Chain A
Amino acid sequence: MGFWEDVKLQFPALHDDRIVYLDSGATTQMPEEILEAISSYERGGRGNPHRGLHDFAARATRFLQESRATVAQFIGAQPSELLFTKGTTEGLNLVAQALGGRLGPGDEVVLTIFEHHAMLLPWRQLASDKGFTLRYLPMSENGVIDLELARKVIGAKTKVVAVIHASNVLGTILPVAELAKLAHAVGAWVVVDVAQSVARLPIDVQTLGCDTMAFGAHKMYGPEGIGALYIAERLRPHLKPLLFGGGMVDEVLDDTIRYADDVRLFEAGSPNVGGAVGFAAACKFLTTLGLERVRERELELTTKLMSDLAQLPRVKIHSSKTALGRVGLVSFSVEGVHSHDVAQILADQGIAVRAGYHCAAPLTRCLDLSGTVRVSLGVYSADHDLDRLVVGIRKVLERFPV
């Protein structure tokens, strides 16, 4: 039994092989050790952190603090720089509301054509409310971002550069660190969405050079409903909370409110402790596997996937042809068949992929008006999953002859 077969065995949802799961870009499955970590916290007695003097409350406070430290460490941040959210979307909205809320006509925010709706829509909404301008970096000839062009677009008017680290449609890894340098040179803040890359590449906030970064646990083999937002110390005074309520204040008097001066400010309401525990367990799971090893395995499988797909007639690969420079996520179309029909026929054969616009309409529309079919790998993916995919696509071709 090889190393990766053993890894797969840890995932109860995948035991019986009834489903070939190639949709980890949408959400990942959970291994026993993470399920067990959550269950063990919940069974041991729940409490509301910082809100009680009894043992269960103290225990919950400790679990929450330890979880925060673990997740922060996973991305090279301090615990004081990491707040829990309900997911990537909430984190990106919080940042956009706070930074975009004070922009106006004449200001510019630079995004890329690769953005997910979670990044794109908050900024589009704010731009139309506040009158500032959005500028988009297009896809370059080689399928990434032209840094020479970026150098011209990012300038004195630029207040924020908001960018996805790895495209959820094509898998393309964007040159975040280089864009961050250009942004910081003109005094702009750098916002990064690492939802798709955080479980696939070693990530360090210092190396990326971002001021804030959002991600979610459910694409990292952790639970749904919890995410994290990294906020660099230097940025925190410029942000304001989305939610107001319990736990975010130091003192509430009749005529004044003294707000917490740390991450609690952004975490009004009872925290999701079980989620935080699962999130931390997910970070430990990935750390134990080793992100370098995960990346190496993913490159190997992606290379096979690309060559398998390239041999099929009528299959057009939208992602770049090499595995390097991207994460293990590939978009393609089948000539003459709508992406949903491809996904349906694959689903009927027990193969789970994603189809459609992938919540990134501007990018997907310019690739294929029928949407694309997306295959995304996880740590449990194996050669034979890809073999079954090929058989599945051949069925699609048979069912829909040209």
Chain B
Amino acid sequence: MSDMYRDHLLDHIRRPRNHGVIENTNLYRHEANPSCGDVIDVYLRTNADGLIEGASFTGRGCVISQASASIVIEAILGKSKSTVLAMGPKDVVGLLGVEPGPMRMNCALLPLAALHKALC
């Protein structure tokens, strides 16, 4: 069985962190993956110093996309905008702890893409 469905990913599916819409956001982005219909909405609150004070998401999609959203958003809380913008595919794969492979990479990267576009 693929190790793509490790317990820690499934745990983020069962108990997604920072799921929902937080108050007083100043940045928002909707992204979708046309082939499978993965959808993600990210809500961000940044402060005057460019730090991410609050972040949350809502969405619908496969385990990889939704677990990635929960894990990546948990990781960026309190980080600076520039740190998040510097994150790339390798960072996401590192956080997920699994190599999604070429076919699922788009699913894994959808949340980071949404964050990047929200912050730009």
Interface majority SS (helix, strand, loop, mixed), chain A: helix
Contact A344 B104 (CB under 8 A): yes
* Residues on A with beta carbons closer than 8 Å to the beta carbon of B64: 340-341
Which A residues are in CB contact (< 8 Å) with B1?
A: 345, 348, 395, 399
With the chains together, A364 CA to B36 CA distance in Å? 10
Q: Is the CB of A357 within 8 A of B60?
A: no
Quick check: is B62 within 8 A (CB to CB) of the other chain? yes
Chain B residues with CB below 8 A from A340, complex form: 36, 38, 61-62, 64, 104, 107
Of the candidates A339, A344, A357, A370, the one whose C-beta lies within 8 Å of that of B34 is A357
Interface centre among B1, B36, B64 (most CB of A within 10 A): B36
How many residues of chain A get a CB closer than 8 Å to chain B's CBs? 19
Pick the contact of A338 from B34, B35, B62 — CB < 8 Å? B62
Residues of B within 8 A of A361 (CB): 34, 37
Which of A345, A357, A365 contacts B5, CB < 8 Å?
A345
Q: Interface size for chain B: under 10, 10 to 19, 20 to 34, or 35 or more residues?
A: 10 to 19
A92 to B56, alpha carbons, bound, how many Å? Answer: 43
Minimal beta-carbon separation of A355 from chain B (angstroms): 7
**Whole-angstrom distance from the CB of A25 to the nearest CB of chain B?**
15
In B1-47, which residues have CB < 8 Å from any A CB? 1-2, 4-5, 34-38
Residues of A346-385 whose CB lies within 8 A of B:
347-348, 355-357, 361, 364-365, 369-371
Question: Shortest beta-carbon distance, B33 to chain A, in Å?
Answer: 9
Q: Tell which of B35, B37, B64 has the most Cβ of chain A within 10 Å.
A: B37
Distance between Cα atoms of A213 and B9 in the complex (Å): 47
Given the known inter-chain contacts A395-B1, A399-B1, A399-B5, please indicate yes or no for A341 contacting B34, CB distance below 8 A. no
A357 with B104: CB separation less than 8 A: no
A347 closest partner in B (C-beta): B2
Q: What residues make up the interface of B, taking CB atoms closer than 8 Å to A? A: 1-2, 4-5, 34-38, 60-64, 104, 107
Cβ-closest 5 pairs across A and B: A340-B62, A356-B36, A348-B2, A338-B62, A340-B36
